[in-house]
């Protein structure tokens, strides 16, 4: 669990609409797996997780003048909490 730095919450219109369904979205390090992330959330925020989905968002190609590069890949974790639990720090961002 030492590999998990503090996850970055995703602040978008879709993620704010999913808050009513008790679904939270985070960007995490590519090496983090679902089990480690669930343990981290339950220990840090004192919540119970019912479901976790993960996906890797591939980096986009960027062209600036004659130079081409790629944005880095990111891993997104979509977490559903059990009824009655919420992450108070996350809702302050909206």
**Nearest Cα residue to 79 out of 18, 32, 5:** 18
What backbone torsions phi and psi does residue 48 show, to the nearest 5 degrees? -115, 125
Tokens of 36: 């480690």
**Amino acid 89: pLDDT:** 81
Residue in 40, 18, 14 with CA at minimum distance from that of residue 29? 40
Q: Which fold has domain 8-82?
A: Alpha-Beta Plaits (3.30.70)
pLDDT tens digits in sequence order for the chain, 94 residues long: 556 778 889 999 999 999 999 999 999 999 999 999 999 999 999 999 999 999 999 999 999 999 999 999 999 999 999 999 988 887 676 6
Domain ranges of the chain: 8-82
**Does residue 73 contact residue 40 with C-beta atoms inside 8 Å?**
no
Question: pTM (2 decimals)?
Answer: 0.85
């Amino acid at each position: 669990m030492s590999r998990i730095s503090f996850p970055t919450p995703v602040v978008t219109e879709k993620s704010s609409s999913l808050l009513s369904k008790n679904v939270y979205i985070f960007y995490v390090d590519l090496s983090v797996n679902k089990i480690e992330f669930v343990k981290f959330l339950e220990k840090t925020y004192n919540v119970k997780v019912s479901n976790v989905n993960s996906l890797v968002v591939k980096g986009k190609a960027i062209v600036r003048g004659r130079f081409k590069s790629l944005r880095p890949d990111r891993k997104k974790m979509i977490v559903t909490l059990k009824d009655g639990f919420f992450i108070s720090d996350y809702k302050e961002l909206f």
